[in-house]
Chain A
Amino acid sequence: MRLLTAVLRTVRDSRRLATGLVILALMVLLAAFSPLIVHSIGNGNDPIALAAYQKWLVPSSDHLLGTDQFGRDVLAMVVSAMSVSLQIGAIAGVISTVVGVIVAFVAGYKGGWVDGVLSTFTGILLVIPTFPLLIALSAYAKNVSLFQVGVMISIFSWPFAAKTIRSQVLSLRSRPYVDLARVSKARDLEIIGTELLPNLLPFIGVGFASSALGAIFGLVGLEVIGLGPGGVIDLGQIIFNAINTGALTLGAWPMFVVPIVLLTLLFAALNMVNIGLEEVYNPRLRGVAGE
């Protein structure tokens, strides 16, 4: 209950955060209804089937965004691709946030050599360039599924979340009210759950948004080099197709402009959530100091 009120209060306090969340919610809705939308575009047929229509049709009332080199409806492709991109963000975001939070709490709360070992390990993972590793993983892992790619991406994105949250745990740990809870014989888990977590929510949110952002872009990047998971179409793959089939020279602009605009909107929304949260826990950033 306290968690819920903390969340609601946070959202109400920041217009930027609210804007970002609203855009995200709209996109999630669009993704949730994507099967329905795709179905209605196809009028009973599958608009994403190969040779469903003629290839390279220009945008018209029948096909709002035209068709691609295989005669697939671009609008239907983009809508379903967006849900794939959101899924990967959610998968990787959840995994890396959970791992990051656990590591950060253990390190920050226990301190001592445990903290030393965990922090050093986090530091090591942070400096290894992730993209080459990701390319290598996906190029040779046979028939990777979307979920597996999500797990791979989270392997490299939890250290960032862990680092952000750990520094906060350290500063919160020494606050008087935590000492008070400790003196009153509250258990470690109880202190973490009731005293620390509510105050750390913004940071956990930042960790989640950053990981999701990184994962979505990671998948786009893999697709652009032509190394994405098989059997699913995400926004990156549409862009990759557009580059490789010469859509740029054919003037089939919707094929790469629309995915890019959607992804940009998604990145913008996640970033607004990030900045909004930062402004919530650091009110001085709102630029009202001394006004």
Chain B
Amino acid sequence: MTATAPPAEAVEASAESAPRSGLRPWLSRHPLAAYALRRFGLYLIELWGALTVAFFFFRMIPGDPIQTLIQTLQQNYVYNQQASAEVIARYQHEFGLDGNIFTQYLKYMNNLILHGDLGPSLINYPTPAQNVILHSLPWTIGLLGISAVLAWVLGIIVGAVAGWRRGKAGSAIITNLSIALSHVPFFFVALILVYVFAYSLGMLPARSAYDSNISPGLSPAFIGSVLKYGLLPGLSIVVIGAFGWILSTRMLMVPVLGEDYLTYAEAKGLKPWRILTRYALRNCYLPQVTAFGISLGFIFNGNVLVEQLFNYPGLGTTLVTAIQQLDFNTILGVTDMAIFSVLTAVLLLDLLLPLLDPRVKYWK
């Protein structure tokens, strides 16, 4: 370690080397465009890096998916003799498991990026993995998406009121309750709810996503059934999720409550509600929308535990089944989708923020 002082401003490790002919002067005149370009370059690097790490990580797991598949086929009496080497080779080729790991990697990335193809899935051979994922996607988006929106709206409203009326008894109770419960896993609440409503009171169903006696379709009976079956898992997510938003809203709002412009607004005789929404909450809107966008990106992870508990046919359940059967293509597909959605959500927000918020600086 030397005692040389690092330069005052960190040199940006620029993601793409711009050619010298004319682009550089133009970029220095347009800091916003330069920022957008650099940010997009970083996005591509992170996307590629995350997909690559995920690919190699799952390939490193010991286990032979082809053997698993053949065993499954044998168990189902579809195939009652020892598999020949040709059959195994044929399957390996089909699942993209032939050749060394680098050729596999190149082939996988090529199929993924150029054709959006993940290869066949093992759990539902020969259906392509992307179809298996698409099949469970609506359930996850419906359950988690609607719950996330409800939790967010509820959290902002309650959090704003709790921050505004700080020092009052009710506000202190809500704040402390949020601090205590905002990090409790959804799953615990789900379990308690199941115990109370499904077993003790027998009021609500505890498993699956709809009544199997009703055929899926756009009939009122089916939609009612979906809502009824989604109530318990949804409720557990809304309750705990809301506590988190209450806390962050309050934290964003409390620091500005002593500001002069609020005193001035009060002195002008504005109504408290107007002061709250137009002045005090001004600081929360943007960060909360940002945070919400990012949390929506995480929805695609599926909430594995809640979905498992309720046997909900979403991404989380699909993922667990796929892992148990070594279905590489499906596992990677779900993981890749989660990576893509989170990174893209963050990218869009990073690009939009400087346009919306004058305080955000987009140059270093």
Contact = CB atoms under 8 A, between A and B. Distances in A.
A113 to B, nearest CB: 5
Contacts of A193: none
B8 A174 contact: yes
A225 B343 contact: no
Interface in A128-149: 128-129, 131-133, 135-137, 139-140
A113 B185 CA distance: 38
Contacts of A217: 185
A98 to B, nearest CB: 19
B61 A140 contact: yes
> Which of B54, B61, B182, B191 has the largest number of chain A CB atoms within 10 A?
B191
B363 to A, nearest CB: 16
A291 B257 CA distance: 9
B49 A135 contact: no
Interface string B1-36: 111011110111100000000000000000000000
Interface residues of A, number: 63
Nearest to A247: B195
B320 A135 contact: yes
B3 A187 contact: yes
A129 B339 contact: yes
A221 B305 contact: yes
Nearest to B166: A287
A185 interface: yes
Interface residues of B, number: 66
B50 interface: yes
Interface string B151-171: 000000000000100110000
Contact of A131 (B256, B263, B304): B304
Nearest to A185: B3
Contacts of B301: 129, 131-132
A152 to B, nearest CB: 11
Contacts of B255: 282, 284-285, 289
Interface in B281-312: 301, 304-305, 308-309
A112 interface: yes
Interface stretch (B88-96, B141-149, B214-222, B330-338): B330-338
A129 B335 contact: yes
A275 B179 contact: yes
Contact of B63 (A16, A137, A140, A185): A140
B64 to A, nearest CB: 11
B360 interface: no
Contact of A110 (B6, B257, B308): B6
Contacts of A248: 194-195, 199
B62 A140 contact: yes
B192 A124 contact: no
Contacts of A128: 50, 53-54, 335, 339
Contacts of B254: 284-287, 289
Contacts of B251: 278, 285
Contacts of B5: 182
A10 interface: no
Interface string A225-254: 100000000000001000100001100010
A129 B315 CA distance: 13
Contact of A291 (B50, B179, B258): B258
Given A123-B46, A124-B53, A217-B185, 10 more contacts: A132-B301, A133-B335, A187-B1, A249-B199, A264-B188, A268-B181, A270-B183, A275-B179, A275-B247, A291-B167
Q: Nearest 3 CB-CB pairs, A to B?
A: A290-B258, A116-B13, A289-B258
Interface of B: 1-3, 5-8, 10-13, 42, 45-46, 49-50, 53-54, 57-58, 61-63, 163, 166-167, 179-185, 187-188, 191-192, 194-195, 199, 247, 251, 254-259, 263, 301, 304-305, 308-309, 319-320, 323-324, 331, 334-335, 338-339, 342-343, 346
